[in-house]
Amino acid sequence: MDLFEHQGKEFFARYGMPVSPGEAVFSVDEAVAAAERLGTPVMVKAQIHAGGRGKAGGVKYAADIDAVREHAGNIFGLDIKGHIVERIWIEKASDIAEEYYASFTLDRSAKMHLGMLSKEGGIEIETVAEENPDAIAKTWIDPVDGLTDEACRAWVAAANLPEAAFEGTVEIMKLLYTAYDEGDADLVEINPLILTPEGKMHVLDAKVTLDANSVFRHEDYAQYDATQPRDEREQAAHAKGLQYVGLEGSVGVIANGAGLAMSTVDVVSQAGGNAANFLDIGGGANADVMAGALEVINHDPSVKSIFINIFGGITRGDEVANGIIEAMRRVAIDSPIVIRLDGTNAEEGRVILAPNLDEKLMMEPTMLDAARRAVELAS
Amino acid sequence: MSIFVDENTSVIYQGLTGSQGSYYGRLNAEYGTRIVAGTHPKKAGTEVDGVPIYANVGEAVEATGATASCIFIPAPGVRGAVMESAEGGVEFIVAITEGVPAHDEAYFYNDLKRNFPDVRLLGPNCPGIISPGKCNIGITAGHIAKPGGPVGIVSRSGTLTYQALYELKQKDIGVTTCVGIGGDPVPGTSFIDCLEAFEADPDTRAVMMIGEIGGSAEEEAAEFIKNNMTKPVSCYIAGVTAPPGKKMGHAGAIVSGGKGTAAAKMEALADAGAQVGQNPTEAGELMARIVAEL
C-alpha cells in the first residue's frame, strides 16, 4: 500500500520524527484557508502516488496568499505521469542548508533489511547510484538484531555528513528504522532529509509503502487501503476480494492462481492478442467467486471475448464447471467464453459443460488452443 | 531417490484440527504420507482421523520421532509456529500459509539461519512438496504427478507447479521430487537450494524450473546453473507480457538493479545453458526432448 506524502509524514510523526505542520486540501479555497491558518510562506505540493512531481510543476513555493491561490489553481487537475492531482498538501515552508537521502527497504537477495544514506539528497537516488555510487552509504540489518546504536553510528559516519548533521541524523535513522520495523513497511524513504541553517535535522518529504499482509496487526491501515489508486474495474474487483489488474487489451482473463493467470496473459499475447486484465480467482472456484469474476469482466467495455483458464489441483473440475453454469445463470454475459479445464475431475467437468456449449460458451482441449480461439473471437 | 522428503518422512501437522489442515491432511494421508501427529495447544489428547493431537511440536516429536512438520496456521500465527517447529526438533518445515508479513519472514529466516542452521524451511505461501509415490506434504493433487524419475521440478508459483507436473505426466515422464518454493519476498528454500539437491540426487537427471517476474532469484539460479549444474535444465518464466510490477520506490529499484523482468531472467537462464520455453507447454516439450536424449 502506497501512502501519499502527507500520510507518510503523519505516519513518521507517530514515531516522533520531525515533520512540518500542514494540511491536506481538496480545493483552492481549502488551500487558501489552510495557508492562512499555517501562515505564509508555505509549500504547495501535489499528492499523487508517483515521483517526479517537482519537474512536472506539482511542487511550488508560495510567499503569500495570492501565490497559494495561483499555484493551487494550477496544480489541481494537473496530469503527472497519468495521475490526476485531486489533493494538495499545504505545508509551512522550511529553510534549507543541505539536502540528504535516507531509506530502509528489504533486500530480497541478502534476505536482510537494507539502509541507504547519502549526502547527495534532493535529486533522484537512481542518478546518484549511477553517477556516484560511493556517495551512498549502505548498511545491512539482520532483523533479529535490529539497527543497533553501534551499527547506526558507523553507517551514518560512512555517509560523510557534516559534523553538525551527525547526531541528529543518527537519531532520525533510529526512529526511521523503528517506523519501518514496527510499522511493517516495505519501504520508508526521506528525500530530502534536510539540515536547516539553525543546524536542525528535518524530514521534508516522505515516501512510505506498507505491507498489505500486515493489516491484521495494524487496524488503522484500512484508511490507506481506501486511498490506493484504482481504476473503476480494479475498484469493483477489489470490493469482491478478487486479485485484479487492469490491462489494455480485449481478451478478458480468468484463471486460478497468480502464476497461471500471468501465464494466461502471456499465451494470449503469443496467440497475437492482448489481455484486458489479469484476474486470479484463487483456489476453490465456487459459483459465487466465478459469478463475481465474470461480472467484473463483463462490465469492461473493451472486453470482446473471455478466456477462463482453470487447472484443478485441489480445486475440482466438476465444481468449476457447475460454478461457470451457475454464474452464467446469474449474470448475462455479453462476450463469448472460451474454457480450458484440466487437472482434478476435469473429465467430469467437461461432461457437465458439454450440453451447455454453443457459440457463447466454448471449450478447448489445451491452454494454447483456448488462447488462439479467444484471440480469434476478440478480433 | 528424491530430495528433502521420501517414504520414511514422518510429519506433524500444525493446524490439523482446522478446516484447511484437516482437509489437506486427510488427502496427504490418503496419498500415503506418514502423518504421525497434529498439534493444538488446547486439544492435546484428542484425535483427528485417528491421528493423535499433542499440545505442541516438542511433545509430538518426543512421542512420535517425527522429522518434519507442515504448517496450516493462519498468517498471524506463522512466525510462532515456525519457531515452535524448529525448537521442537524437526528438520524440515513446510509452511503453506499465504499472507505472512514480509518482516516476519525476514525475521524467522534469519533466526533459523543463526540458531537452527540444520533446519530447512519451505515456504511460506507455497503449495508444498511431493516426492511422487512416496510422500506428499501440502496442497498438490497427488494424482497429477507420475512417480519415478528422471525429472526434478522446482517452482515459484502454485498452479504452475501443477501445470508442470501435468505437462510431464501427459508425456509419461516421471518426477523424483517437485518442490513449490512459493513466491513470497523471503522464501525459506531457494531455487539454488533445490538445484543443488537435485544435482546431488542420482535419480534426478534433469530439472524443470518455473519462475516468475520480480526479484532476482531466477538470475541467481542462472548463475548457479552456469557454474555448478551438470544436469540439463528447462524453464519457463511467467509474466513475459505483464506490465512492470509495482516499483517499490527508488530504493527498491536500486536493490533490484534493473533485474526482475521476465526478459532479463530468460536471457540469464539461456546464457547459463538452460532451455527456455515461452509457455509451460513449451517448457514441457523441451523437457521431453531432454529426457529422450538422456
Domain boundaries, chain A: 21-92, 98-225, 232-378
Q: Inform me whether the pLDDT recorded for A185 exceeds 60.
A: yes
Alpha helices in chain A (DSSP H): 5-14, 28-38, 65-75, 125-131, 149-158, 163-182, 222-225, 232-239, 258-270, 287-298, 317-330, 346-353, 367-378
Give how far Cα B176 sits from Cα of A90, B1, B96, B294, Å: 62, 7, 21, 15
Predicted pLDDT of residue A225: 87
CB distance B250–A269 less than 8 Å? no
CB distance A314–B251 less than 8 Å? no
The arithmetic mean of pLDDT across residues A91-101, rounded, is: 96
Q: Inform me whether the pLDDT recorded for A286 exceeds 90.
A: no
pLDDT level of residue A234 (50, 70, 90 thresholds): confident
Note which residues in 44-63 of chain B have CB less than 8 A from chain A.
Answer: none
Distance CA A281, CA A267 (A): 18
Predicted pLDDT of residue B249: 40
Cα-Cα-Cα-Cα dihedral sign, residues A123, A125, A131, A132? positive
Distance CA A121, CA B231 (A): 48
The pLDDT tens digits along chain B (294 residues) read: 799 999 999 999 999 999 889 999 999 999 999 999 999 999 999 999 999 999 999 999 999 999 999 999 999 999 999 999 999 999 999 999 989 999 999 999 999 999 999 999 999 999 999 999 999 999 998 988 999 989 999 999 888 999 999 999 999 999 999 999 998 889 999 999 999 999 999 999 999 999 988 888 999 999 999 999 999 999 999 988 776 654 434 444 344 445 678 888 999 999 999 999 999 999 999 999 999 998
Domain annotation covers residue B89 = yes
Q: Please determine whether the domains at A21-92 and A232-378 fall in the same fold group of CATH.
A: no
Please check whether residue B109 touches A, CB under 8 A: yes
Which member of A5, A98, A120, A189 is catalytic?
A189
Q: Which residues of B touch A311 (CB under 8 A)?
A: 159, 162-163, 166
Predicted pLDDT of residue B250: 42
- The better pLDDT of the pair B193, A128 is held by B193
Q: Which residues of B touch A314 (CB under 8 A)?
A: 24, 27, 139-141
User: Which of the listed residues B81, B105, B122 is the one where a domain comes to its end?
Assistant: B122
Burial class (CB in 10 A: 0-12, 13-18, 19+), A368: middle
| B183 and B280 in a common domain | yes
Burial class (CB in 10 A: 0-12, 13-18, 19+), A31: buried
* A331 min Cα distance to partner chain B (Å): 27
Residue B90 CA to its chain's centroid (Å)? 17
Domain count, chain B: 2
Superfamily of A98-225 according to CATH: ATP-grasp fold, B domain (3.30.470.20)
| B142 and B113 in a common domain | no
Predicted pLDDT of residue B240: 81
Domain annotation covers residue B5 = no
| B185 and B151 in a common domain | yes
Burial class (CB in 10 A: 0-12, 13-18, 19+), B224: middle
CB distance B141–A344 less than 8 Å? yes
Predicted pLDDT of residue B47: 94
CB distance A108–B255 less than 8 Å? yes
Q: Which residues of B touch A186 (CB under 8 A)?
A: 102, 248, 252
Q: Inform me whether the pLDDT recorded for A367 exceeds 60.
A: yes
Domain annotation covers residue B278 = yes
Predicted pLDDT of residue A229: 81
| B106 and B18 in a common domain | yes
Domain annotation covers residue B4 = no
| B164 and B144 in a common domain | yes
pLDDT level of residue A157 (50, 70, 90 thresholds): very high
Domain of B24, in residue numbers: 10-122
Domain annotation covers residue B2 = no
Query: What are A39-65's pLDDT values in tens digits?
Result: 999 999 999 998 889 889 999 999 999
Nearest partner of A135 among A116, A122, A162, A154, judged by Cα: A116
| B263 and B132 in a common domain | yes
Distance CA B182, CA B214 (A): 13
Q: Which fold has domain A21-92?
A: Dna Ligase; domain 1 (3.30.1490)
| B255 and B149 in a common domain | yes
| B102 and B47 in a common domain | yes
| B73 and B38 in a common domain | yes
Of residues A106, A124, A270, nearest to B102 (C-beta): A106
ipTM of the complex: 0.91
Nearest partner of B134 among B124, B146, B125, judged by Cα: B146
Q: Give A209's strand partners.
A: A2, A187
> Tell me, what CATH number does B100's domain have?
3.40.50.720
Predicted pLDDT of residue B247: 40
Q: How far is the first Cα of chain A from the last one, in angstroms, to the nearest whole number? A: 36
Q: Inform me whether the pLDDT recorded for A172 exceeds 70.
A: yes
The structural architecture, per CATH, of the domain A232-378 is: 3-Layer(aba) Sandwich (3.40)
User: Which of the listed residues B93, B122, B151 is the one where a domain comes to its end?
Assistant: B122
- CA angle, corner B184, sides to A297 and B266, nearest 5? 80
User: Which of the listed residues B87, B102, B122 is the one where a domain comes to its end?
Assistant: B122
Predicted pLDDT of residue B259: 61
Quickly tell me which residue has 543443488 as its cell: B196
Domain annotation covers residue B260 = yes
- Poorest-pLDDT segment among A67-76, A165-174, B113-122, B234-243: B234-243
Whether A189 sits among the annotated catalytic residues: the reply is yes
| B55 and B15 in a common domain | yes
* A32 min Cα distance to partner chain B (Å): 31
Distance CA A65, CA A73 (A): 12
Three-class HEC string of A133-199: HHHEEEEEECCCCCCCHHHHHHHHHHCCCCHHHHHHHHHHHHHHHHHHHHCCEEEEEEEEEEECCCC
Of residues B99, B101, B249, nearest to A189 (C-beta): B249
**Cell digits for A98?**
543541505
Note which residues in 149-208 of chain B have CB less than 8 A from chain A.
Answer: 155-163, 166, 183, 185-186
Q: Which residue of A has its CA nearest to B180?
A: A259
> Tell me, what CATH number does B218's domain have?
3.40.50.261
Amino acid symbol at A194? I
